[in-house]
Amino acid sequence: MKRILTACLIGWTGLLVAPLVHAQSYPAKPVRLVVPFPAGGATDVLARTISQKASEKLGQQIVIDNRPGAGGTIGSDLVAKAAPDGYTLLIATGSTHSIGPVVNPKIPYNVERDFVPIVDVAKTTTVLVVPTQLLAKNLKEFIALLKANPGKFNYGSSGNGTNSHLSGELFKAQTGVFMTHIPYRGTGLVLTDMMSGQIQMLMDNYVTAQPHIRDGKIRVLGVSSLQRLPFMPDVPTLDEQGLKGFEVSNWFGIYAPQGTGAEVIAKVNTAFNQALQDPELQKRLGQLGATPTGGTPAQMAKVVSADTVKWSKLIKDRKLIVE
């Protein structure tokens, strides 16, 4: 009897210690970071840039896995249904976790039920870009051109319910112009069609647009921050050009499937926060037009909540909800 009790105690001890050992050994293999947008877009570029340094801090390689489609819904849903063991993570954006769930209440995941926030990693500013062959050379001329030709021009986005989509709708609401929305699978594809003249406007992250702006392939008419960007001091804000209060930015954050252990969340959070404090990474993000953020999971949750509230009114006023 004594031997049986001893064996049982050893068994129970093993069960109690197993989760702790698992957490302490994490990560024991490479970690997959799902990017729910195509390669070459802002989310992808930031994910690859930040994960290189975060891999060093975490002690395992972070492997990028692009799963684009449906405005980021496909990749996000994949992570929502993944094992909560810390080996499948998501880099989410306002498109997937603030705007998308309001635009389409029927998306297959619920942000609060299916995910746990880990860390907010970066923030970017949006720029309004047009084809170089367009006659308008500034925002005033562009708005006048749109008003003189209602419905004849298109604006592109990375998909329905994405930040670029809602930014375009906000522009339409404040200017009173009418443009046709053309959703794509990523803004990189929009830029290709813009350079060929099929798309006349895109509200895009500077991260994606900057090489084309630099090479003179597209024209930037304004930035969506309330102050001019230090790396583009000659480009006026939309606010100073008459669109008072026009301010749009996009956040990028790391999520895990709901149920992921607190110890694992803490390790990933620490690795990314340490990476974001690296001067070399900060310089690289600055060159891309992104600001490193960082912080706690609770701070990230507040960012997402505030962003959701901000866009909800526009979505309802413009009747953008998918029935």
Q: What is the DSSP letter of 72?
A: G
**Which H or E element spans position 78?**
helix 73-80
Q: What is the DSSP letter of 236?
A: P
Strands 201-205 and 290-292: unpaired
> Tokens in use for 272?
């990314």
Query: What backbone torsions phi and psi does residue 141 show, to the nearest 5 degrees?
Result: -70, -35
Do the domains at 29-123+249-317 and 125-223 have one common CATH topology?
Answer: yes
Q: What count of other Cβ atoms lies within 10 Å of the Cβ of residue 286? A: 13
* CATH code, 125-223: 3.40.190.10
Q: What is the DSSP letter of 251?
A: E
Query: What backbone torsions phi and psi does residue 285 show, to the nearest 5 degrees?
Result: -65, -40
Cα(15)–Cα(20) distance, integer angstroms: 10
Residue 236, preceding bond cis, omega within 30 degrees? no
Check if the beta carbon of residue 123 is closer than 8 Å to that of residue 295.
no
Q: What is the 3-state secondary structure (H, E, C) of 13-47?
A: HHHHHHHHHHHHHCCCCCEEEEECCCCCCHHHHHH
Cα(118)–Cα(269) distance, integer angstroms: 6
**Which H or E element spans position 194?**
helix 187-195
- Which residues have C-beta within 8 Å of that of residue 230, sequence separation ≥ 6? none
Domain ranges for the chain, please list them.
29-123+249-317, 125-223
In tens digits, what is the pLDDT along the chain, a chain of 323 residues?
A: 444 444 444 454 444 444 444 456 999 999 999 999 999 889 999 999 999 999 999 999 999 999 998 889 999 999 999 999 999 999 999 999 999 999 999 999 999 999 999 999 999 989 999 999 999 999 999 999 999 999 999 999 988 888 999 999 999 999 999 999 999 988 888 999 999 999 999 998 888 898 999 999 999 999 999 999 888 899 999 999 999 999 999 999 999 999 999 999 999 999 999 999 999 999 999 988 899 999 999 999 999 999 999 999 999 999 998 76
Cα(159)–Cα(264) distance, integer angstroms: 32
Check if the beta carbon of residue 83 is closer than 8 Å to that of residue 31.
no
Report the Cα–Cα distance between both ends of the chain, in Å, rounded.
Answer: 65
Cα(53)–Cα(31) distance, integer angstroms: 14
Q: What is the pLDDT of residue 242?
A: 95
Q: What is the pLDDT of residue 160?
A: 87
Q: What is the pLDDT of residue 24?
A: 60
Q: Under CATH, domain 29-123+249-317 is a member of which superfamily?
A: Bordetella uptake gene, domain 1 (3.40.190.150)
